[in-house]
Amino acid sequence: MGTIKQNRANNIVTGGKIDATDGLNNNVPATNIANASLTNVTAYPPSAGASVSQLASDPPSPTEGQMWYNTTTNTLKQYALGAGAWASGGSLNTGRTGLGSAGESNTSALAFGGQDPAYTAATESYNGTSWTEVNDMVAANGYMGSAGTQTAAISMGGQSPTFKTDTELWNGTSWTEVNNLNTAGSQGTGIGISTSALYVGRHNSTPPQVFGINESWNGTSWTELADLNTTRRRAFGAGADNTSGLIAGGFPNSNPAFTNTESWNGSSWTEVNDLNTARYQGAGSGIQTSALASGGTNSAGTAVVANVEEWNGTGWTETTDLTTGKALLGAGGTTTSTVAFGGQTTVVVGTTEEWTKAVAIQTITAS
């Protein structure tokens, strides 16, 4: 609405005195309001400084988003999300690469399928401390698309070693085979939940023939929708359901890898800001507006990497690396609580890393 100018000249009376009513009560003359349509303004908002508490010490139990000025240390502080960090968790019982994954946090995840060196149907559940063997998949499988939570997951496509159209659903206790994909393929990207998902990109021949095919799952069957703008496989993916997704990185038939990122609105893909580091074979977690891209293989295909980037809905930012670089790993969770597991370094591993981005007291500086 612009600025209201307070012109004290309007409140000066004879002899240079301030008018006792208008001047001292801080009234603004109507002639100083440039926009005469401001008929609903009944009071001035407080200044920014007036709304910040002044405290002699930091509050013992601040709330997220709270800001205050510490009069003892003469510092402006806030209680907000700090930098994220990775910590070691319990290892998988069966180390594997190219596995399926699902999960909602670093204390709740599911690992299934994969290869080392044989294809497996093994399924394990994570509680934040250790992995427990649960019921196997219907069929051994690897390099599938996957999505969902610890108690409601979906496996899409894959290979063992032939390319599959298979879809399996996990209900927290057991797997059930349901309606197949329209187009077989492995190394595609899974997005969403068990009742509303996407399977994006894939390859289905040797040597690889890569597709930008995008199929949508409604809980019962698959429907092919608009293809990716950039055909790829082994890309990072994140998203809440089949109307809201994000895909980044990946590669075509051969290196180099992509940095391209695309966002899905339920009907089409739109190019958005690129990853900082081109890579593929990593793991994505989170949703369309808040995601992590962890690990993978470098653009040349010569080494695994530990890079982690965070997406804020607009762009990617480099953040704290994995403790150990790995590719073809699984992951599940959010940008504040994610677990990454399995995959391969120079060998197949079963290690687990937990990501936490905690709320903490921070000092606000000019920089």
pLDDT bin (cut points 50, 70, 90) of residue 349 is very high
Q: Which of 20-24, 162-166, 316-320 has the lowest mean pLDDT?
A: 20-24
Q: What is the CA radius of gyration of the chain?
A: 27
Residue 195 above 90 pLDDT? yes
Measured in residues, the chain has a length of 367
pLDDT value for 46: 53
- As given in the structure block, the two tokens for residue 111 are 């690992």
Residue 124 above 60 pLDDT? yes
Question: Distance (Å, rounded) from C-alpha 147 to C-alpha 102?
Answer: 5
Task: Name the residue ranges covered by the structural domains of the chain.
Answer: 1-45, 85-358
pLDDT bin (cut points 50, 70, 90) of residue 170 is very high
Residue 8 above 70 pLDDT? no
Beta bridge partners of 270: 263
Residue 231 above 70 pLDDT? yes
Fold classification of 85-358 is Neuraminidase (2.120.10)
pLDDT digits (tens, 9 = 90+) for 61-88: 777 678 878 888 888 878 776 788 999 9
Answering whether pTM is above 0.85, one says no
pLDDT bin (cut points 50, 70, 90) of residue 53 is confident
Respond yes or no on whether the N-terminal peptide bond of residue 161 is cis (omega within 30° of 0): yes
Residue owning tokens 């609105």:
265
* Short-list 85, 111, 99, 102, CA closest to 193: 102
271: burial class by Cβ within 10 Å (0-12, 13-18, 19+)? exposed
Residue 106 above 60 pLDDT? yes
Respond yes or no on whether the N-terminal peptide bond of residue 207 is cis (omega within 30° of 0): yes
pLDDT value for 188: 98
pLDDT bin (cut points 50, 70, 90) of residue 58 is confident
CB-side exposure of 188: number of CA atoms within 13 Å? 37
Beta bridge partners of 138: none
Phi and psi at 351, nearest 5°, equal: -70, 155
pLDDT digits (tens, 9 = 90+) for 296-308: 999 999 999 999 9
Question: Distance (Å, rounded) from C-alpha 123 to C-alpha 100?
Answer: 9
Mean pLDDT for the chain overall: 89
